[in-house]
Amino acid sequence: MNSFPIIRVITKLLIPYILLFGLYVQFHGDFGPGGGFQAGVIFAAALILYGLVYGLPAVHKVAPPKVIEKLTALGLLVYAGTGLACMLLGGNFLDYDMLNHGFLTELPAALDFLPGDKPHHFLPEGQHLGIFLVELGVGITVTAVMTMIFYAFAGRERVTT
């Protein structure tokens, strides 16, 4: 599809917004609808779109298959590691309340001058932090897996029968 300028330009325009939307969904996960899985799929969609339009070599440069393979594992480790951290802190597996850290949870007085409603939390803790980390892990893994599936199929040689 290299030869269709309109598609190329539109794709270039679209991809940043897709990524941005992915980030939004990702980081909104512990407050409202959204989360790692959806975000991961959106992220991967951006990569796959890029690959479809610009070809496999191009997207391999952006996201090398080796890295993607490792990311699959890394995301899962972030997830399980969060659970393990809770355990090491003395709770049960995935007991996020163990992640309370009491560090900068309230808005510092120095920032009082900011306009508008003050947010509840400054740095998330406990349940929020736990869910955030888990969602992050899920997001990474899903992005990587989706991309990897794409690579796996797109990278196959054509079979002649």
Residues at the site binding another protein, with contacts judged by CB under 8 A:
32-33, 37, 69-70, 72-74, 76-77, 80-81, 83-84, 86-87, 91-97, 100, 120-121, 126-128, 149, 152-153, 156, 159, 161
Question: Helix crossing, 5-27 with 36-54: angle to 10°?
Answer: 170
Between 50 and 79, name the residue whose CB sits nearer to another protein.
79
SS3 category, 136: helix
End-to-end CA distance of the chain: 25
Contact 117, 11 (CB under 8 A): no
Q: For helices 127-154 and 65-88, what crossing angle results, to 10°? A: 160
Chain-centroid distance of CA 28 in Å reads 11
d(CA 124, CA 134): 13
CB nearer to another protein: give 14 or 80: 80
- Closest to another protein by CB, 19 vs 97, is 97
Smallest separation (angstroms) from another protein to the CB of 127: 6
For residue 71, the minimal CB distance to another protein (Å) is: 10
CB of 140 to another protein, least distance (A): 11
Q: Give least dist CB 9 to another protein, A.
A: 31
The residue among 54 and 122 lying less far from another protein, judged by its C-beta, is: 122
* 132 three-state secondary structure: helix
Q: How far is the CB of 114 from another protein (least distance, A)?
A: 19
CB nearer another protein, residue 7 or residue 67: 67
Using alpha carbons, select from 100, 67, 61, 96 the residue that is nearest to residue 82.
Answer: 96
